[in-house]
Amino acid sequence: MKDPTDQDTITIEEVRKASDGSGCTTVHRYLRGKLLGKGGFAKVYWCTSLDSNKNYAIKIVPKANLVKSRARQKLQAEIKIHRVLKHRRVVEYKHFFEDRVNCYILLELCHNHSMNELIKRRKRLSEPEVLYYMMQLIDGTKYMHQLNVIHRDLKLGNLFLDRNMIIKIGDLGLAAKLTHENERKRTICGTPNYIAPEIIDGKGGHSFQVCCAHFHSIKFHSISNKSPLPPNSSF
């Protein structure tokens, strides 16, 4: 059931402290527009800065969803990882702020939504088109790996498209930062239809190789318009 407030235009206020340590504050306002997407803990909306008239995407996380310490740690980890990623193939992180009710992450707006919407419109892509997008995806993922970051949830819905239909990797909610390149993570996470076998197996942990499994799933889904892993599948 749709929340009717998702369609309302709402003004969001950010109270920002001066960086000079003077204790002064300034108020910045954003006009929240249409809903762009939603997950289990957050919703993402189109928004416009009333200071500059620039458009952004704004991720809104209700503090009611952050009561458990694990949920708070997850959000903190997402912000810590995303804020240092500066690459043409990664959605740009702008900044974070909060009020009494919500936490907000201001992000680069990708005007053409995601690869998921593209496949829904087109049904399937040609092999040259898939190669074009896969090269961009590999470029962005390689950069993240150089910083010891693994995304762990690469899928069509997390590959956004800018004005020029260029891929931007987004939604770092399940991303992990390795302390060293040989570290293995053991948390079972990901989208069921895309989850990598190494994550499900869990015995030896997982690392950079999970992104390669995601590459194959994305390529298959883009060409065939079929789910890479049916929900009733098992390993």
3, 20, 99, 153: which one is catalytic? Answer: 153
> Count H helices, E strands: the chain?
5, 10
Helix axes 115-122, 209-224, angle to 10 degrees: 20
Length reported for the chain: 235
Does 201 qualify as catalytic in the annotation?
Answer: no
Q: Which of 206, 200, 199 is nearest to 183 (CA)?
A: 206
Nearest Cα to Cα of residue 42 among 91, 87, 1, 6: 6
Find the angle CA(139)-CA(111)-CA(82) to the nearest 5 degrees.
Answer: 50
Q: Residue 143: which H helix or E strand, with range?
A: helix 127-146
Pairing state between β 25-38 and 10-17: antiparallel
Q: 170 vs 126, 158, 189, CA distance in Å?
A: 24, 5, 16
Strands 149-150 and 176-177, sheet pairing:
antiparallel
The single-letter code of the amino acid at 133 is Y
Q: Which residues are catalytic?
A: 153
